[in-house]
């Protein structure tokens, strides 16, 4: 079993490019060290929407436990401190992936 979480960020216009560069430089690799896989990322520049799908083996509880471990890690806290607040909005929800 794999759990998927869909995340949508609305970026601050003045921070969009910096956020994307920051994300690419570390977020997927750091998440991977905690067992996550970034499945895909889409950037809608017109709407400043940054959407991504992240997965983790196991149940939602396993996902939440791994995310808590990530968020409490020194590595994540240090990396997060490298960027100014960049989001106007954030939405995250567990989803089912349906393949056509």
CATH assignment at residue 77: 3.30.70.100
Domain membership flag for residue 100: no
For residue 11, what pLDDT is reported?
97
6 closest CA partner among 80, 89, 97: 97
Q: Rg of the Cα trace of the chain?
A: 14
For residue 100, what pLDDT is reported?
84
Residue 15 lies in domain:
2-95
**What 8-state DSSP symbol labels residue 1?**
-
Q: Is 59 helix (H, G, I), strand (E, B) or coil?
A: coil
For residue 61, what pLDDT is reported?
98
How confident is the model over 75-88, as pLDDT tens digits? 999 999 999 889 99
Dihedrals phi, psi of 72, to nearest 5 degrees: -90, -5
For residue 99, what pLDDT is reported?
86
How confident is the model over 16-56, as pLDDT tens digits? 999 999 999 999 999 999 999 999 999 999 999 999 999 99
Distance of CA 40 to the CA centre of its chain: 10
When divided into structural domains, the chain yields a total of: 1
């Amino acid at each position: 079993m794999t759990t998927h979480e869909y995340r949508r960020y609305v970026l601050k216009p003045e921070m969009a490019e910096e956020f994307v560069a920051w994300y690419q430089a570390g977020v997927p690799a750091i998440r991977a060290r905690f067992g996550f896989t970034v499945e895909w990322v889409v950037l809608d520049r017109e709407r400043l929407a940054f959407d991504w799908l992240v997965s983790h083996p196991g149940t939602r509880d396993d996902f939440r436990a791994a995310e808590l471990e990530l968020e409490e890690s020194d590595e994540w806290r240090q990396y997060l401190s490298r960027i100014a607040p960049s989001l106007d909005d954030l939405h995250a929800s567990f989803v089912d992936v349906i393949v056509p």
